[in-house]
Amino acid sequence: MIPPFVLLLIGLVGIWLGAGFVVVNSQKLAKIMGIHETFVGLTILSIGTSLPEIFTHITTSLSNLKGIESSGISVGTNIGSNIIQITFIVGIVAIFGKIHTTRKFLKKDYCIMLGSIFTLFIFSYNGFISRIEGFILVAAYLVYLYFLAEKEELVGKIERKYSHKHTLFYLFLIGIGITALLFFANIVVKNALTLTEVWNVSHTFIGTMIIGVSTALPELTTAIRAILKGSAGMSLGTLVGSNITNPLFALGIGAIISGYSTGPVTIFFDLPFWFFVSLLPFFLLKRKKGITKWGAIVLIACYVIYVGTKLTFFM
Protein backbone atom coordinates (compact mmCIF):
# COMPACT_ATOMS: atom_id res chain seq x y z
CA MET A 1 0.00 0.00 0.00
CA ILE A 2 1.36 3.42 -1.00
CA PRO A 3 1.82 5.81 1.98
CA PRO A 4 -0.43 8.93 1.97
CA PHE A 5 2.55 11.30 1.83
CA VAL A 6 3.88 9.58 -1.30
CA LEU A 7 0.44 9.77 -2.92
CA LEU A 8 0.27 13.45 -1.95
CA LEU A 9 3.62 14.07 -3.66
CA ILE A 10 2.46 12.17 -6.76
CA GLY A 11 -0.68 14.29 -6.86
CA LEU A 12 1.30 17.53 -6.46
CA VAL A 13 3.71 16.54 -9.25
CA GLY A 14 0.72 15.70 -11.45
CA ILE A 15 -0.83 19.11 -10.70
CA TRP A 16 2.46 20.86 -11.48
CA LEU A 17 2.90 19.05 -14.78
CA GLY A 18 -0.75 19.53 -15.72
CA ALA A 19 -0.65 23.25 -14.96
CA GLY A 20 2.55 23.61 -16.99
CA PHE A 21 0.91 21.82 -19.92
CA VAL A 22 -2.09 24.15 -19.79
CA VAL A 23 0.09 27.27 -19.47
CA VAL A 24 2.31 26.38 -22.44
CA ASN A 25 -0.65 25.77 -24.73
CA SER A 26 -2.42 28.90 -23.44
CA GLN A 27 0.69 30.93 -24.31
CA LYS A 28 0.68 29.48 -27.82
CA LEU A 29 -3.01 30.31 -28.20
CA ALA A 30 -2.39 33.86 -26.97
CA LYS A 31 0.49 34.27 -29.43
CA ILE A 32 -1.79 33.26 -32.31
CA MET A 33 -4.24 35.95 -31.20
CA GLY A 34 -1.53 38.61 -30.88
CA ILE A 35 -2.25 39.49 -27.24
CA HIS A 36 0.09 41.81 -25.29
CA GLU A 37 2.44 40.08 -22.82
CA THR A 38 1.32 42.05 -19.74
CA PHE A 39 -2.30 41.09 -20.51
CA VAL A 40 -1.15 37.48 -20.96
CA GLY A 41 0.54 37.63 -17.54
CA LEU A 42 -2.46 39.17 -15.78
CA THR A 43 -5.01 36.81 -17.33
CA ILE A 44 -3.98 33.69 -19.25
CA LEU A 45 -0.82 32.91 -17.27
CA SER A 46 -2.24 33.97 -13.91
CA ILE A 47 -5.31 31.77 -14.43
CA GLY A 48 -3.21 28.95 -15.87
CA THR A 49 -0.72 28.98 -13.01
CA SER A 50 -3.62 29.25 -10.53
CA LEU A 51 -5.24 26.06 -11.84
CA PRO A 52 -3.73 23.96 -9.00
CA GLU A 53 -5.41 26.26 -6.46
CA ILE A 54 -8.65 26.41 -8.46
CA PHE A 55 -9.00 22.64 -8.68
CA THR A 56 -7.95 22.19 -5.05
CA HIS A 57 -10.82 24.53 -4.12
CA ILE A 58 -13.30 22.64 -6.29
CA THR A 59 -12.25 19.28 -4.84
CA THR A 60 -12.27 20.41 -1.20
CA SER A 61 -15.66 22.10 -1.66
CA LEU A 62 -17.13 18.89 -3.01
CA SER A 63 -15.69 17.13 0.06
CA ASN A 64 -17.42 19.71 2.26
CA LEU A 65 -20.73 18.87 0.58
CA LYS A 66 -20.14 15.21 1.45
CA GLY A 67 -19.72 16.14 5.11
CA ILE A 68 -15.90 15.96 5.12
CA GLU A 69 -14.77 19.33 6.48
CA SER A 70 -11.93 20.54 4.25
CA SER A 71 -12.19 24.33 4.45
CA GLY A 72 -8.84 24.70 6.22
CA ILE A 73 -7.01 22.92 3.41
CA SER A 74 -8.53 25.01 0.61
CA VAL A 75 -8.26 28.40 2.34
CA GLY A 76 -4.80 27.54 3.65
CA THR A 77 -3.64 26.50 0.18
CA ASN A 78 -4.84 29.79 -1.25
CA ILE A 79 -3.12 31.91 1.38
CA GLY A 80 0.09 29.85 1.49
CA SER A 81 0.44 29.93 -2.29
CA ASN A 82 -0.05 33.69 -2.49
CA ILE A 83 2.28 34.54 0.38
CA ILE A 84 5.15 32.56 -1.13
CA GLN A 85 4.49 34.20 -4.50
CA ILE A 86 4.49 37.80 -3.29
CA THR A 87 7.55 37.32 -1.06
CA PHE A 88 9.84 34.43 -1.97
CA ILE A 89 9.08 34.18 -5.70
CA VAL A 90 9.12 37.95 -6.31
CA GLY A 91 12.39 38.02 -4.38
CA ILE A 92 13.93 35.21 -6.47
CA VAL A 93 12.83 36.90 -9.71
CA ALA A 94 14.30 40.23 -8.53
CA ILE A 95 17.63 38.52 -7.86
CA PHE A 96 17.74 37.29 -11.47
CA GLY A 97 16.96 40.78 -12.78
CA LYS A 98 15.53 44.09 -11.59
CA ILE A 99 11.75 44.32 -11.65
CA HIS A 100 10.28 47.60 -12.85
CA THR A 101 6.70 48.54 -13.58
CA THR A 102 4.53 51.53 -14.43
CA ARG A 103 2.67 53.78 -12.03
CA LYS A 104 -0.52 52.88 -13.88
CA PHE A 105 0.03 49.18 -13.14
CA LEU A 106 0.60 49.94 -9.46
CA LYS A 107 -2.41 52.25 -9.14
CA LYS A 108 -4.77 49.87 -10.91
CA ASP A 109 -3.76 46.19 -10.94
CA TYR A 110 -1.64 46.15 -7.79
CA CYS A 111 -4.26 48.09 -5.81
CA ILE A 112 -6.93 45.66 -7.05
CA MET A 113 -4.75 42.85 -5.69
CA LEU A 114 -4.53 44.56 -2.28
CA GLY A 115 -8.27 45.19 -2.36
CA SER A 116 -8.90 41.51 -3.10
CA ILE A 117 -6.95 40.44 -0.01
CA PHE A 118 -8.71 43.02 2.18
CA THR A 119 -12.14 41.95 0.89
CA LEU A 120 -11.33 38.32 1.68
CA PHE A 121 -10.34 39.38 5.21
CA ILE A 122 -13.67 41.21 5.68
CA PHE A 123 -15.65 38.23 4.41
CA SER A 124 -13.68 35.85 6.67
CA TYR A 125 -13.98 37.93 9.83
CA ASN A 126 -17.19 36.29 11.06
CA GLY A 127 -15.65 32.82 10.70
CA PHE A 128 -17.47 31.83 7.52
CA ILE A 129 -17.34 32.76 3.83
CA SER A 130 -20.86 32.25 2.48
CA ARG A 131 -22.02 31.25 -0.99
CA ILE A 132 -23.24 34.82 -1.58
CA GLU A 133 -19.84 36.20 -0.65
CA GLY A 134 -18.24 33.63 -2.96
CA PHE A 135 -20.49 34.88 -5.76
CA ILE A 136 -19.42 38.48 -5.04
CA LEU A 137 -15.74 37.47 -5.25
CA VAL A 138 -16.20 35.71 -8.60
CA ALA A 139 -18.34 38.56 -9.98
CA ALA A 140 -15.65 41.09 -9.01
CA TYR A 141 -13.04 39.00 -10.82
CA LEU A 142 -15.16 38.74 -13.97
CA VAL A 143 -15.66 42.52 -13.98
CA TYR A 144 -11.89 42.94 -13.67
CA LEU A 145 -11.33 40.58 -16.61
CA TYR A 146 -13.93 42.41 -18.65
CA PHE A 147 -12.15 45.75 -18.31
CA LEU A 148 -8.79 44.12 -19.10
CA ALA A 149 -10.28 42.56 -22.24
CA GLU A 150 -11.82 45.89 -23.27
CA LYS A 151 -8.45 47.60 -22.94
CA GLU A 152 -6.77 44.83 -24.93
CA GLU A 153 -9.55 44.92 -27.58
CA LEU A 154 -9.69 41.16 -27.13
CA VAL A 155 -13.07 40.60 -28.77
CA GLY A 156 -11.88 42.15 -32.02
CA LYS A 157 -8.75 40.01 -31.99
CA ILE A 158 -10.78 36.84 -31.44
CA GLU A 159 -13.11 37.74 -34.31
CA ARG A 160 -10.15 38.26 -36.61
CA LYS A 161 -8.32 35.12 -35.48
CA TYR A 162 -11.12 32.67 -34.62
CA SER A 163 -10.73 30.60 -37.78
CA HIS A 164 -7.04 29.91 -37.30
CA LYS A 165 -6.46 26.21 -37.91
CA HIS A 166 -4.46 25.71 -34.70
CA THR A 167 -6.99 27.31 -32.33
CA LEU A 168 -9.17 24.22 -31.80
CA PHE A 169 -6.10 22.02 -31.43
CA TYR A 170 -4.72 24.15 -28.58
CA LEU A 171 -8.15 24.34 -26.93
CA PHE A 172 -8.32 20.53 -27.07
CA LEU A 173 -4.89 20.24 -25.41
CA ILE A 174 -5.92 22.73 -22.73
CA GLY A 175 -9.01 20.60 -22.05
CA ILE A 176 -6.84 17.51 -21.57
CA GLY A 177 -4.64 19.42 -19.12
CA ILE A 178 -7.64 20.61 -17.10
CA THR A 179 -8.99 17.04 -16.87
CA ALA A 180 -5.63 15.86 -15.54
CA LEU A 181 -5.63 18.69 -12.98
CA LEU A 182 -9.01 17.65 -11.62
CA PHE A 183 -7.83 14.04 -11.29
CA PHE A 184 -4.62 14.90 -9.43
CA ALA A 185 -6.30 17.56 -7.27
CA ASN A 186 -8.62 14.85 -5.95
CA ILE A 187 -5.60 12.71 -5.02
CA VAL A 188 -3.97 15.66 -3.22
CA VAL A 189 -7.03 16.57 -1.15
CA LYS A 190 -7.81 12.98 -0.10
CA ASN A 191 -4.28 12.31 1.11
CA ALA A 192 -3.89 15.75 2.69
CA LEU A 193 -6.94 14.98 4.86
CA THR A 194 -5.37 11.66 5.84
CA LEU A 195 -2.07 13.33 6.78
CA THR A 196 -3.75 15.86 9.07
CA GLU A 197 -4.91 12.91 11.18
CA VAL A 198 -1.64 10.95 10.96
CA TRP A 199 0.56 13.94 11.85
CA ASN A 200 -2.01 15.54 14.19
CA VAL A 201 -1.69 18.97 12.56
CA SER A 202 -4.34 21.45 11.44
CA HIS A 203 -5.86 21.46 7.97
CA THR A 204 -4.70 25.06 7.57
CA PHE A 205 -1.10 24.10 8.31
CA ILE A 206 -1.12 21.38 5.61
CA GLY A 207 -2.69 23.87 3.21
CA THR A 208 -0.29 26.76 3.78
CA MET A 209 2.96 24.89 4.32
CA ILE A 210 2.73 21.90 1.94
CA ILE A 211 0.01 22.25 -0.69
CA GLY A 212 0.27 26.04 -0.87
CA VAL A 213 4.01 25.92 -1.50
CA SER A 214 3.67 23.15 -4.08
CA THR A 215 0.84 24.80 -5.99
CA ALA A 216 2.98 27.95 -6.30
CA LEU A 217 5.59 26.08 -8.36
CA PRO A 218 3.94 26.94 -11.71
CA GLU A 219 4.16 30.66 -10.83
CA LEU A 220 7.83 30.25 -9.86
CA THR A 221 8.69 28.42 -13.09
CA THR A 222 6.71 30.79 -15.31
CA ALA A 223 8.01 33.94 -13.63
CA ILE A 224 11.66 32.91 -13.82
CA ARG A 225 11.35 31.87 -17.46
CA ALA A 226 9.72 35.21 -18.27
CA ILE A 227 12.35 37.31 -16.48
CA LEU A 228 15.22 35.37 -18.10
CA LYS A 229 13.68 36.13 -21.49
CA GLY A 230 13.48 39.81 -20.57
CA SER A 231 9.68 39.77 -20.21
CA ALA A 232 9.47 41.64 -16.89
CA GLY A 233 5.90 42.72 -17.64
CA MET A 234 4.77 39.12 -18.06
CA SER A 235 6.67 37.96 -14.96
CA LEU A 236 5.28 40.57 -12.56
CA GLY A 237 1.90 40.43 -14.30
CA THR A 238 1.73 36.69 -13.70
CA LEU A 239 2.45 37.01 -9.97
CA VAL A 240 0.13 39.96 -9.35
CA GLY A 241 -2.53 38.41 -11.57
CA SER A 242 -2.31 35.17 -9.62
CA ASN A 243 -2.72 37.09 -6.35
CA ILE A 244 -5.93 38.53 -7.81
CA THR A 245 -7.15 35.26 -9.34
CA ASN A 246 -6.66 33.15 -6.21
CA PRO A 247 -8.64 35.17 -3.62
CA LEU A 248 -11.37 36.26 -6.04
CA PHE A 249 -11.86 33.50 -8.59
CA ALA A 250 -10.38 30.31 -7.09
CA LEU A 251 -11.62 30.82 -3.54
CA GLY A 252 -14.85 32.37 -4.82
CA ILE A 253 -15.71 29.27 -6.86
CA GLY A 254 -15.07 27.04 -3.86
CA ALA A 255 -17.21 29.23 -1.61
CA ILE A 256 -20.07 29.18 -4.14
CA ILE A 257 -20.04 25.37 -4.06
CA SER A 258 -20.04 24.84 -0.30
CA GLY A 259 -19.06 27.93 1.68
CA TYR A 260 -15.91 27.98 3.84
CA SER A 261 -15.32 28.14 7.57
CA THR A 262 -12.28 30.20 8.66
CA GLY A 263 -10.44 29.80 11.96
CA PRO A 264 -8.78 32.39 14.25
CA VAL A 265 -5.25 31.69 12.90
CA THR A 266 -6.41 32.39 9.35
CA ILE A 267 -8.31 35.55 10.34
CA PHE A 268 -5.83 37.11 12.74
CA PHE A 269 -2.46 35.91 11.42
CA ASP A 270 -2.40 34.50 7.88
CA LEU A 271 -4.63 37.06 6.14
CA PRO A 272 -3.14 40.16 7.88
CA PHE A 273 0.38 38.88 7.18
CA TRP A 274 -0.51 38.34 3.51
CA PHE A 275 -1.93 41.87 3.22
CA PHE A 276 0.87 43.75 4.96
CA VAL A 277 3.68 41.80 3.32
CA SER A 278 2.04 42.58 -0.05
CA LEU A 279 2.47 46.28 0.69
CA LEU A 280 6.25 45.88 0.70
CA PRO A 281 6.68 45.16 -3.05
CA PHE A 282 4.24 48.03 -3.72
CA PHE A 283 6.47 50.58 -1.98
CA LEU A 284 9.64 49.05 -3.45
CA LEU A 285 8.19 49.24 -6.97
CA LYS A 286 7.20 52.89 -6.50
CA ARG A 287 10.88 53.80 -6.38
CA LYS A 288 12.71 54.51 -9.62
CA LYS A 289 15.13 51.65 -8.93
CA GLY A 290 12.35 49.10 -8.66
CA ILE A 291 13.03 45.99 -6.55
CA THR A 292 16.79 45.79 -6.04
CA LYS A 293 18.80 42.83 -4.76
CA TRP A 294 18.50 44.16 -1.19
CA GLY A 295 14.76 44.49 -1.60
CA ALA A 296 14.66 40.92 -2.89
CA ILE A 297 16.51 39.68 0.20
CA VAL A 298 14.03 41.47 2.48
CA LEU A 299 11.09 39.82 0.68
CA ILE A 300 12.68 36.36 0.98
CA ALA A 301 13.38 37.04 4.67
CA CYS A 302 9.68 37.86 5.17
CA TYR A 303 8.75 34.42 3.90
CA VAL A 304 11.32 32.77 6.17
CA ILE A 305 9.77 34.64 9.12
CA TYR A 306 6.30 33.47 8.08
CA VAL A 307 7.37 29.83 7.85
CA GLY A 308 9.24 30.01 11.16
CA THR A 309 6.21 31.50 12.92
CA LYS A 310 3.87 28.86 11.50
CA LEU A 311 6.18 26.02 12.51
CA THR A 312 6.70 27.42 16.01
CA PHE A 313 3.20 28.54 16.98
CA PHE A 314 0.53 27.41 14.51
CA MET A 315 0.93 23.73 13.65
Read off the CATH number of the domain in which 15 is found. 1.20.1420.30
Asked whether the predicted pLDDT for residue 192 surpasses 50, the reply is: yes
Residue 214 to residues 13, 64, 219, Cα–Cα distance (Å): 8, 22, 10
Q: Which domain holds residue 259?
A: 4-313
* pTM over 0.85, yes/no: no
Mean pLDDT across the stretch 258-285? 94
Asked whether the predicted pLDDT for residue 163 surpasses 60, the reply is: no
Asked whether the predicted pLDDT for residue 233 surpasses 80, the reply is: no
Q: Which residue has the higher pLDDT, 218 or 79?
A: 79
Taking all residues of the chain, what is their mean pLDDT, rounded to a whole number?
83
Q: For residue 115, what are the β-bridge partners? A: none
What confidence category does residue 155 fall into, taking pLDDT thresholds of 50, 70 and 90?
very low
In whole angstroms, give the CA distance from residue 182 to residue 137: 22
- Count the domains in the chain: 1
> What integer pLDDT is reported at residue 174 of this predicted model?
77
Q: Which residue has the higher pLDDT, 292 or 300?
A: 300
